[in-house]
A = this chain, B = another copy of it.
Amino acid sequence: MMMKHPLLIKTMLERSRKLFPKKEIFSRCFEKDHRLTYGDMHKRVCRLANVLQSLGAQRGDKIGTFAWNNHRHLELYFAVTCSDMVLHTLNLRLFPEHLIHVINHAADKIIFVDEDLIPLLERVSDQLTTVEKYVILTDKEELPPTRLSPALHYEKLLADAPETFEFPDDVDENSPAGMCYTTATTGLPKGVLYTQRSIYLHSLVQALPDIHCLAEQDVLMPVVPMFHVMAWGLPFSAAWLGTKLVMPGRVLTPDALCKLMEQEKVTISAGVPTIWMSILQHLEAGNKYDLSALRHVAIGGSAASANMIKLLGKFGINVFHAYGMTETSPVVLASRLKSYMKEWGEDRQYALRAKQGLLLPGLDMKIVNNEGNEVAWDGKEMGELCVRGPWIAGAYFDEPERSKENFRDGWLYTNDMVTIDEEGFVLIQDRAKDLIKSGGEWISSVDLENVIMIHPAVAEAAVIAIPDPKWQERPMACVVLKAAEKDKVTEADILAFLEGKVAKWWLPDKVMFIDEIPKTSVGKFNKKALRERFG
């Protein structure tokens, strides 16, 4: 029989130390850029594990991080999880009352904070009930002045600690190792606990050729923040496989990112559409970089249109769509064309690439309509996407009541309304509550947005439902024009553009031109805010 060998994150750390000690990590911090190797990282992770112990942290404790994508945050990823503690990555963009809630609800014991983020934490620190110590991540020799107390100096603590550490072997693979809170559509954020096993399996599967295709020879730049579902799990996969990591830090301007990709010869990257849209506009404006090393980038978090994928392709940025959520570790779907589709026409290919794609190996999926039956694979019938599998949450942390809504009969109900076509490509039509129901029929606001965004003058568009006495709900489009096009396009122009491209009854009742689409703390269109403003 096979050995009883648990699936632990420790094996990733060990492999990167033993087989890839020379491979590099580039890390952009507040004051300077760092270069270290996986060999260096391992020593610093061991020092950090000793520090955690000397600060009184024990197995099972929650350790908070409040930091950008940099090497110190990466060290915390491994030192905390391999010590059988729980890495709680705090979302920097949470509103103060939410931040207080998640820290107290998780019962974080220590928080590690990037120096430039200290003010955000100071605003709430007197309401934190469980935090015993703050450790400041800084390149400065001395601690910056702070009201956080007690505040300790990360580098000094590390310098004083031994550079070897015996990480425990007797860890249950189902022990919690990581934690993220997800913004709820109503109420306070809800926590998701990842286990050693779920992180192990997700890290493996997403490295497969038909997903990120991550190899030792790659140079990976996760633009997705390390406080968003642990940077989609990419730092774990990279260290395990010996892939060079490029951590872009806090400045995510198109110029900064393109320069980094050029300079470090990045081959794979990943981030939300907003990032890639801003890079696209920057390149369209005539800025030039050598991005020839880039093989592909994953876009997730919200949808990218076929048009955006096409335009990015013209600049050598080959996009593939992925789909996931905090509850799913996150990757669930990836849109990679099947071999025989490469013979298909270009438009058909782009239409598929704009879908969220195919279910990952290891997961189960069902798509159920209002009656609870599975929908047809016809690309038309809409239903709610439900998933289950070894890296899918089974409940929210310490929220038995609120868990009941999303977790039923062994499935996670994602709240995303989707269609699935004959080939198994899933397309997110809308968040269940963002769908527009006009005269008993559904209108996909996402579809409408995508068509509007093809208009050459449009930078962004969000479609919301407005109440209608006859049809219950009707669509209204909120449109942001490109700077150079401002005031040159009218409502009638947009409607004329849509004519023939969508069903007549889908045509928005109103087109509003606004300066900016409000975003949620995780960068998605905040349709709730739009509805409050215009609804």
Interface residues of A (CB under 8 A from B): 1-7, 11-12, 14-15, 18-20, 22-23, 174, 176, 193-195, 197-198, 200-201, 204-205, 207-210, 213-217, 240-242, 244, 336, 338-340, 342, 358-359, 361-364, 388-395, 397, 410, 412, 423-424
Q: What CA separation (Å) do A195 and B1 show in the bound complex?
A: 7
- If A1-B394, A3-B389, A390-B5 touch, whether A15 touches B359 (CB-CB below 8 Å) is yes
Complex CA distance for A18 and B425, rounded to whole angstroms: 11
Closest chain B residue to A200, Cβ basis: B362
Tell me whether B389 and A5 are in contact (CB under 8 A).
Answer: yes
Cα–Cα distance between A68 and B275 once the two chains are bound (Å)? 53
Assess whether B194 is in contact with A2, with CB atoms less than 8 Å apart: yes
Known: A22-B340, A204-B208, A361-B241. A2 touches B195 (CB 8 A): yes
Are B210 and A3 interface neighbours, CB within 8 A?
Answer: no
Tell me which residues across on chain B come within 8 A of A1, comparing CB atoms: 174, 176, 193, 195, 393-395, 397
In the A-B complex, list the 4 residue pairs whose CB atoms are closest, starting with the nearest: A209-B215, A3-B394, A217-B339, A2-B198
Residues of B within 8 A of A210 (CB): 215-216, 241
* Interface contact B209-A2, CB-CB below 8 Å: no
- A174 surroundings in chain B (CB, below 8 A): 1-2, 4
**Contact status B216-A339, CB under 8 Å:** yes
Closest B residue by C-beta to A7: B390
A7 partner residues in chain B, CB cutoff 8 A: 201, 362, 390
> CA–CA, A359 to B240, complex, Å?
11
A sample of 8 inter-chain contacts (CB < 8 A) reads: A2-B198, A3-B389, A18-B359, A19-B358, A19-B359, A204-B208, A208-B241, A242-B338
Given known contacts A1-B176, A19-B423, A208-B241, what 11 new A-B pairs fall within 8 Å (CB)? A1-B394, A2-B390, A3-B388, A3-B393, A4-B394, A11-B362, A12-B361, A14-B364, A19-B358, A22-B340, A210-B215
Given contacts A3-B410, A336-B216, contact A361 B392 (CB under 8 A): no
Tell me whether B361 and A204 are in contact (CB under 8 A): yes
**Please, how many angstroms separate the alpha-carbon atoms of A20 and B423 in the complex?**
8
User: Once the chains bind, are A214 and B209 in contact (CB under 8 Å)?
Assistant: yes
Report if A393-B2 is in contact (Cβ < 8 Å); known contacts: A240-B361, A339-B216: yes
User: Which of B3, B14, B200, B392 contacts A5 (CB under 8 A)?
Assistant: B392
Given A3-B389, A204-B204, A207-B208, the answer on whether A338 and B241 have CB atoms closer than 8 Å is no
Shortest CB-to-CB span from A205 to chain B, Å, is 6
**Cβ contact within 8 Å between A216 and B338:** yes
In the complex formed, the residue of B with least CB distance to A390 is: B5
Complex Cα–Cα for A198 and B336 (A):
27
Most-contacted residue by chain B among A2, A20, A210, A423 (CB, 10 A): A2
Contact yes or no, B392 A2, CB < 8 A: yes
Task: Report chain B residues within 8 Å CB of A362.
Answer: 7, 11, 200, 204
Distance in Å from the Cβ of A506 to the closest Cβ of chain B?
30
Closest to A392 in B: B3
Task: Give chain B nearest CB distance to A423 CB in angstroms.
Answer: 8
Q: Which residue of B lies closest to A361 (CB)?
A: B240
Instruction: Quote the shortest CB–CB distance from A216 to chain B (angstroms).
Output: 6
Q: Are A388 and B424 in contact (CB under 8 A)?
A: no
CB distance from A16 to the nearest CB of B (A): 10
